[in-house]
């Protein structure tokens, strides 16, 4: 239904007050909020097929090929792990295997309902949804190209770029033909079989972890450091846990060639330390070496928008160099690529634009969780960053090893390794002793990490100190209460491993 | 150990603690680790408590928080299996549950923890006495061991931390019913259970028995369970109990119990009759002030509604006699007893008068799904005179 270019209530003469390019977490949040505040909004969303041919509906990365299906598959994995606990609790349960196709069907059906829900939400909020790829003609004009090639030109007083990102490829021979990415994993029709995950990112490790928990033979190919940017001690523990539970880590190596061999893929792997090459065969290869922003074909030059060399935007308060053009979400340079960040930033931006609000997005103290089978949640600084920022002498790290009560009964072993090892979980609190022992970093490796850590983010935003953590009464018996009884510091050298209750 | 220039003490001990549960062990361990001469008295270990049995670790470790949580977790698996099927796992044979296996594992775990408590106290330098403790005067505690031998301990301070016990309604036939103590040691899962009570212990055990496959009837006097909790929470818990197949009998008063045929009990209520295999009373817990006799009345320690009366520093009216934990009936939670124990130790042993802080104590009820809360209920906030906004979310 074409809208005529009539004067909008805001009197600027453009067809829309706001056009948001991108219907993901940030784009949808910004669109809905702006519309609620009275703006006439259009939201463009379009998915370029992955090299393997996959596309998806409205909602962006999170809903379709990110957070949501990832967490569901991760949950499938840990449900499988729980059968071991169940047996030790007296249940006679035999794992008769996992039906990959059934899981994918259930997950895709659920995602479909979310796509539908988002379309309804946009309609209910009077946001016009345009399923087309947007590109700038000039700073106020956007050409929308549909899948069938038809175009429509719209004009906007303000534009928000929220196009997100897509998985990077390595530019290695055969990668696009032979390999898949997170764009494809969650809708894979057939079971992945023996899988190689290329990359040291959280996406690579989460994928490797869930596939391993579902029963597949998994290897991870890593060029150098695991989980760059995360606390290195925590990264080491995550990897150590995965490795002792059957995920093979191929370190200091890069893939140099991919070739099809019938149904399988042959991977040539070169070790950077020794220079030798080996060839291995896998049923599935997943590339997870990072994500690129989708800004290359937006026609930015025509709008006068200048991106950073990364393709992302350096945009303080989400403002690009062009006064009427903004950016939100994964396209922002040096900002966390997380759904709740994009949502909050999008909403605050809409309020600044249309409600006269002044509040800026606070990108500090954003909690996050890595959903490897043994989950990792964190808020604030890594130990290294804290030492660098406040000085090693002013930084204290309180540590504790533990095992949840619920795991205490499980004495099963797989391949000689305890399924629920003593001291397999770990947490640490990092404080700044030069500032009333303020808690500047909180790290937790254990079950339900996201649930455990969320509340502490609120405490840290309130400036909680170690003393406040100590005087908070714990909830018993839980694992979270460990944060209220920390006493062993790394500096003391005392062994923080638990020998008892 | 100790200051050589200090006046020699007329007492053998700085602190004698009667009761080795959460509060008692915390206070004693901290004092001993600080170099004080500490003795701690506790009854011999048994999963079921009585006038002559208890065990280090107390209610929490042996017959409370720990075994409860293990059983809640164990009973929850049938839901996990249903979820797992939805996630693609093939569990063609419906998993069967073996009660004896879980019971044996639970007993092994609480026995292990009980042993660790004793070791922890020894390592800290506290002296352990197994037996009954009784105040002879404010500075003398008499220990009676299993053989009946008595030892007198002369002490500067005494801390009473004897906890509480499960109480049955005094109705005819009450002896046919069990409490949580016995519920956690039953030889087999009862087919039909009647739980009398609407508090957290009642709803937690309702969830446990129901999850493991028993038919559960929950009988309580109020309209909703969990009196004292936020009204929205109570309503949600009630709805969830019913949704999960627990048969709820609100506004129902049990009148008597009688043995029907072998292995069954008939419960007469003011609205009808129930015939079940097991009746569990979850009708409250009372402070252990005379189980066994602590010598409180002889020494003149004041009580308040059946609990030991203490001030904000956990002092009783008798100089040198302190009391912490469930026996003082303040906030009956392990982490609170730990807090009271640490504060009491600082006040009594370090001369640093410390009040436990009861504000914003978080707690959880492990019904299914569980409840957690912190701070005021809506009703409390309103009756405290606050003007409130209430934000609600219902989710799956």
Contacts of B74 in chain A (CB under 8 A): 89-91
Q: Which residues of A are annotated as a binding site for NAD(+)?
A: 199-206, 290
Q: Which distant-in-sequence residues (6+ apart) come within 8 Å of A52 by Cβ?
A: A180, A183, A184
Same domain (yes/no): A321, A204: no
Could B372 and A103 be called an inter-chain contact, meaning their C-beta atoms sit closer than 8 Å?
Answer: no
Q: Which distant-in-sequence residues (6+ apart) come within 8 Å of A424 by Cβ?
A: A241, A374, A403, A407
Give the pLDDT confidence score for residue A73 in this predicted structure: 98
What residue in B sits closest to A84 (Cα-Cα)? B77
Q: What is the CATH number of the domain that holds A312?
A: 3.50.50.60
CB atoms near residue A417 (< 10 Å): 12
Cα separation, B14 vs B158, in Å, equals 8
Beta bridge partner(s), residue B13: B155
Contacts of B77 in chain A (CB under 8 A): 82, 85-86, 89, 91, 93
| Tally of domains in chain A | 3
Beta bridge partner(s), residue A313: A332
Contacts of A86 in chain B (CB under 8 A): 77, 80-81, 95
SS3 A36: helix
DSSP symbol at B56: T
Contacts of B106 in chain A (CB under 8 A): 409
Out of B84, B93, B360, whose CB is closest to A94?
A: B93
**Does residue A14 fall inside a structural domain?**
yes
**The dihedral formed by the CA atoms of B30, B33, B36 and B41, expressed in degrees to the nearest 10:** 60
Spatial contact of B131 and B145, defined as CB atoms under 8 Å apart: yes
Same domain (yes/no): A196, A343: no
Kindly state the helix (H) or strand (E) to which residue A451 belongs, with its residue range: helix A449-461
Q: Which distant-in-sequence residues (6+ apart) come within 8 Å of B135 by Cβ?
A: B18, B141, B142, B158, B160, B294, B295, B296, B298, B299, B301, B321
Spatial contact of A32 and A10, defined as CB atoms under 8 Å apart: no
Give the pLDDT confidence score for residue B276 in this predicted structure: 98
A470 pLDDT above the threshold of 70: yes
Cα separation, A234 vs A252, in Å, equals 19
Closest CA to B163 of B72, B70, B63, B71: B63
How far A81 CA sits from the closest chain B CA (Å)? 10
User: What is the per-residue pLDDT across A125-145, written as a single tens digit (0 to 9) for each?
Assistant: 999 999 999 999 999 999 999
Give the DSSP letter string of A415-432.
Answer: TTEETT-TT-EEEEEEEE
Query: Regarding beta strands B254-259 and B247-249, do their DSSP bridges make them parallel or antiparallel, or are they unpaired?
Result: unpaired
Cα separation, B190 vs A95, in Å, equals 28
Same domain (yes/no): A162, A302: yes
Same domain (yes/no): A225, A278: yes
Out of B69, B90, B96, whose CB is closest to A99?
A: B90
What is the span of the domain harbouring residue A408? 375-490
Looking at A289, A319, A342, the residue that finishes a domain is: A289
Same domain (yes/no): A142, A251: no
Closest CA to A194 of A127, A306, A282: A282
How many beta-carbon contacts under 8 Å exist across A and B? 132
pLDDT along chain B (396 residues), means of 10: 64 97 97 97 97 96 96 94 94 90 96 94 96 97 96 98 97 98 97 98 98 97 97 97 97 97 94 97 97 95 98 98 98 97 97 96 96 96 95 89
CB atoms near residue A413 (< 10 Å): 12
CB atoms near residue B273 (< 10 Å): 11
Beta bridge partner(s), residue B15: B38, B157
Give the pLDDT confidence score for residue B180 in this predicted structure: 98
The residue count of chain A comes to: 501
**Does residue A330 fall inside a structural domain?**
yes
Cα separation, A280 vs A347, in Å, equals 48
**Does residue A73 fall inside a structural domain?**
no
Closest CA to A245 of A279, A210, A274: A210
**Does residue A67 fall inside a structural domain?**
no
Cα separation, B10 vs B13, in Å, equals 9
Spatial contact of A44 and A133, defined as CB atoms under 8 Å apart: yes
Tokens standing for A57? Answer: 């509906």
Q: Which distant-in-sequence residues (6+ apart) come within 8 Å of A75 by Cβ?
A: B83, B87
Residues of A contacting chain B (CB within 8 angstroms)? 72, 75-76, 79-80, 82-83, 85-86, 88-103, 106, 405-406, 408-409, 471-478, 481, 484, 499-501
Same domain (yes/no): A15, A39: yes
Q: What share of chain A is helix, strand, coil (3-state, %, to 5)?
A: 30, 25, 40
Same domain (yes/no): A242, A347: no
Same domain (yes/no): A33, A144: yes
Contacts of B80 in chain A (CB under 8 A): 79, 82, 86
User: What are phi and psi for residue A320, nearest 5 degrees?
Assistant: -80, -175
Looking at A239, A266, A289, the residue that finishes a domain is: A289
Spatial contact of A186 and A104, defined as CB atoms under 8 Å apart: yes
Rg (CA), chain A: 24
CB atoms near residue B116 (< 10 Å): 17
Tell me whether the omega of the peptide bond preceding residue A77 falls within 30 degrees of 0, making it cis. no
How far B212 CA sits from the closest chain A CA (Å)? 10
Same domain (yes/no): A305, A202: no
Residue located via tokens 């002896």: B175
Residue A476 known to be catalytic: yes
| % of chain A surpassing 90 pLDDT | 95
Q: Which residues of A are annotated as a binding site for FAD?
A: 71, 134, 330
Spatial contact of A162 and A22, defined as CB atoms under 8 Å apart: yes
Could A72 and B87 be called an inter-chain contact, meaning their C-beta atoms sit closer than 8 Å?
Answer: yes
Spatial contact of B49 and B184, defined as CB atoms under 8 Å apart: no
Q: What is the CATH number of the domain that holds A413?
A: 3.30.390.30
Same domain (yes/no): A239, A270: yes
Closest CA to A349 of A201, A491, A160: A160
Q: Which distant-in-sequence residues (6+ apart) come within 8 Å of A223 by Cβ?
A: A200, A252, A253, A254, A272
Could A500 and B96 be called an inter-chain contact, meaning their C-beta atoms sit closer than 8 Å?
Answer: no
Spatial contact of A127 and A35, defined as CB atoms under 8 Å apart: yes
Q: Which residues of A are annotated as a binding site?
A: 71, 134, 199-206, 290, 330
Which domains are delineated in chain B?
A: 13-166+286-350 (3.50.50.60), 174-283+363-383 (3.50.50.60)
Tokens standing for B223? Answer: 């309209």
A436 conformational bin, left if phi > 0, alpha if psi -120 to 50, beta if neither: left
Query: What's the whole-number mean pLDDT along residues A256-266?
Result: 97
DSSP symbol at A359: P
SS3 B143: strand
Could B117 and A476 be called an inter-chain contact, meaning their C-beta atoms sit closer than 8 Å?
Answer: no
H-helix segments, chain B: 22-33, 58, 65-86, 99-124, 180-183, 200-211, 231-243, 296-299, 334-350, 378-383
Closest CA to B120 of B25, B27, B39: B25
Cα separation, A69 vs A371, in Å, equals 12
Q: How far is CA B272 from CA B171, B173, B264, in A?
A: 16, 16, 16
Cα separation, A129 vs A134, in Å, equals 12
User: What are phi and psi for residue A268, nearest 5 degrees?
Assistant: -95, 120
Cα separation, B13 vs B129, in Å, equals 13
CB atoms near residue A438 (< 10 Å): 18
Q: How far is CA B34 from CA B30, B120, B126, B326, B340, in A?
A: 6, 14, 10, 25, 17
**Does residue A459 fall inside a structural domain?**
yes
Looking at A268, A289, A310, the residue that finishes a domain is: A289
Could B88 and A86 be called an inter-chain contact, meaning their C-beta atoms sit closer than 8 Å?
Answer: no
Closest CA to B123 of B45, B25, B43, B57: B25
A501 pLDDT above the threshold of 70: no
- Between the two ends of chain A, the Cα-to-Cα distance in Å is 67
Out of A100, A473, A477, whose CB is closest to B339?
A: A473
SS3 A139: coil
**Does residue A70 fall inside a structural domain?**
no
Give the pLDDT confidence score for residue B41 in this predicted structure: 98
Same domain (yes/no): A154, A185: no
A150-154 LR contacts (CB < 8 Å, sep 24+):
A152/A2, A154/A15, A154/A16, A154/A19, A154/A42, A154/A130
CB atoms near residue A458 (< 10 Å): 12
Band the pLDDT of A96: cuts 50, 70, 90. confident
Query: Regarding beta strands A425-432 and A395-402, do their DSSP bridges make them parallel or antiparallel, or are they unpaired?
Result: antiparallel
Tokens standing for B389? Answer: 């906004």
Spatial contact of A187 and A177, defined as CB atoms under 8 Å apart: no
Closest CA to B184 of B327, B295, B65, B335: B65
What residue in B sits closest to A76 (Cα-Cα)? B87
**Does residue A91 fall inside a structural domain?**
no
**Does residue A439 fall inside a structural domain?**
yes
Same domain (yes/no): A303, A156: yes
Give the DSSP letter string of B259-286.
Answer: E-STT-EEEEETTEEEEESEEEE-S-EE
Tokens standing for B282? Answer: 């979850």
Band the pLDDT of A11: cuts 50, 70, 90. confident
Q: Which distant-in-sequence residues (6+ apart) come within 8 Å of A215 by Cβ?
A: A80, A97, A98
Contacts of A72 in chain B (CB under 8 A): 87
């Amino acid at each position: 239904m074409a809208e005529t270019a009539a004067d909008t209530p805001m009197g600027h003469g453009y067809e829309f007050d706001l056009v948001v390019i991108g219907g993901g977490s940030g784009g949808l949040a910004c669109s809905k909020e702006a519309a609620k505040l009275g703006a006439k909004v259009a939201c463009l969303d379009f998915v370029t097929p992955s090299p393997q041919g996959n596309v998806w509906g409205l909602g962006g990365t999170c809903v379709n090929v990110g957070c949501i299906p990832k967490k569901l598959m991760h949950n499938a994995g840990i449900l499988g792990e729980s059968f071991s606990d169940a047996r030790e609790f007296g249940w006679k349960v035999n794992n008769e295997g996992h039906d990959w196709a059934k899981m994918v069907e259930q997950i895709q059906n659920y995602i479909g309902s979310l796509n539908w829900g988002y379309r309804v939400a946009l309609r209910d909020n009077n946001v016009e949804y345009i399923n087309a790829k947007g590109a700038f003609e000039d700073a106020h004009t956007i050409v929308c190209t549909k899948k069938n090639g038809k175009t429509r030109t719209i004009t906007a007083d303000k534009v928000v770029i929220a196009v997100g990102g897509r998985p990077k490829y390595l530019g290695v021979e055969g990668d696009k033909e032979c390999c898949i990415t997170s764009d494809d994993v969650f809708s894979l029709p057939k079971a992945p079989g023996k899988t190689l995950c290329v990359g040291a990112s959280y996406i690579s490790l989460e994928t490797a972890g869930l596939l391993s928990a579902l029963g597949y033979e998994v290897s991870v190919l890593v060029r150098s450091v695991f989980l760059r940017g995360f606390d290195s001690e925590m990264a080491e523990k995550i990897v150590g846990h995965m490795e002792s539970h059957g995920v093979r880590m191929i370190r200091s190596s890069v893939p140099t060639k991919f070739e099809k061999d019938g149904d399988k893929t042959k991977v040539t792997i070169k070790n950077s330390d020794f220079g030798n090459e080996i060839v291995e065969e896998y049923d599935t290869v997943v590339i997870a070496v990072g994500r690129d922003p989708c800004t290359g074909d937006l026609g930015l030059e025509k709008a006068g928008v200048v991106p950073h060399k990364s393709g992302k935007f350096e945009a303080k308060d989400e403002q690009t160099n062009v006064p009427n053009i903004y950016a939100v979400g994964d396209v922002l340079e040096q900002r966390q690529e997380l759904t709740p960040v994009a949502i909050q930033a999008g909403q605050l931006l809409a309020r600044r634009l249309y409600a006269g609000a002044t509040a800026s997005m606070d990108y500090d103290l954003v909690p996050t969780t890595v959903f490897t089978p043994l989950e990792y949640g964190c808020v604030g600084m890594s130990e290294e960053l804290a030492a660098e920022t406040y000085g090693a002498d002013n930084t204290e790290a309180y540590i504790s090893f533990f095992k949840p009560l619920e795991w205490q009964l499980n004495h099963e072993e797989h391949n000689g390794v305890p399924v629920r090892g003593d001291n397999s979980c770990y947490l640490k609190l990092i404080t700044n002793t030069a500032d009333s022992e303020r808690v500047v970093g909180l790290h937790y490796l254990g079950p339900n990490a996201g649930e455990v850590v969320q509340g502490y983010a609120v405490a840290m935003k309130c400036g909680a100190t170690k003393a406040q953590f100590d005087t908070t009464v714990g909830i018993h018996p839980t694992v979270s209460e460990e944060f209220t009884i920390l006493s062993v510091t790394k500096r003391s050298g005392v062994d923080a491993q638990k020998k008892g209750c | 150990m100790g200051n050589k220039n200090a006046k020699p003490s007329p007492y053998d001990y700085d602190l004698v603690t009667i009761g080795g549960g959460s509060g008692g062990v915390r206070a004693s361990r901290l004092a001993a680790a600080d170099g004080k001469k500490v003795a701690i008295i506790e009854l011999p270990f048994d999963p079921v408590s009585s006038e002559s049995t208890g065990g280090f670790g107390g209610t929490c470790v042996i017959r409370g928080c720990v075994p409860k949580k293990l059983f809640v977790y164990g009973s929850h698996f049938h839901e996990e299996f249903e979820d797992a099927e939805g996630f693609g796992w093939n569990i063609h044979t419906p998993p069967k549950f073996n009660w004896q296996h879980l019971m044996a594992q639970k007993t092994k775990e609480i026995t292990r923890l009980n042993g660790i408590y004793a070791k922890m106290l020894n390592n800290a330098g506290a002296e352990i006495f197994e037996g009954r403790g009784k105040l002879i005067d404010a500075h003398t505690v008499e220990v009676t061991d299993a053989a009946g031998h008595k030892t007198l301990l002369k002490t500067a301070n005494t801390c009473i931390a004897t906890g509480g016990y499960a109480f049955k309604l005094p109705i005819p036939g009450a002896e046919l019913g069990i409490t949580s103590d016995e519920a956690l040691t039953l030889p087999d899962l009862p087919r039909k259970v009647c739980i009398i009570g609407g508090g957290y212990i009642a709803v937690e055990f309702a969830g446990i028995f129901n999850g493991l496959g028993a038919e559960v009837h929950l009988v309580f006097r109020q309209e909703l369970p969990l009196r004292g909790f936020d009204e929205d929470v109570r309503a949600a818990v009630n709805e969830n109990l019913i949704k999960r197949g627990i048969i709820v009998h609100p506004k129902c008063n049990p009148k008597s119990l009688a043995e029907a045929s072998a292995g069954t009990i008939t419960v007469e209520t003011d609205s009808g009759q129930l015939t079940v295999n097991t009746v569990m009373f979850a009708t409250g817990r009372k402070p252990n002030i005379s189980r066994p006799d602590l010598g409180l009345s002889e020494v003149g320690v004041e009580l308040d509604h059946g609990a030991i009366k203490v001030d904000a520093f956990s002092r009783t009216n008798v100089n040198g006699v302190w009391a912490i934990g469930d026996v003082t009936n303040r906030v009956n939670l392990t982490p609170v007893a730990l807090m009271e124990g640490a504060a009491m130790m600082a006040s009594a042993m370090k001369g640093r008068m410390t009040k436990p802080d009861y504000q914003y104590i978080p707690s959880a009820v492990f019904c299914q799904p569980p409840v957690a809360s912190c701070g005021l209920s809506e009703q409390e906030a309103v009756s405290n005179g606050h003007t409130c906004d209430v934000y609600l979310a219902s989710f799956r």
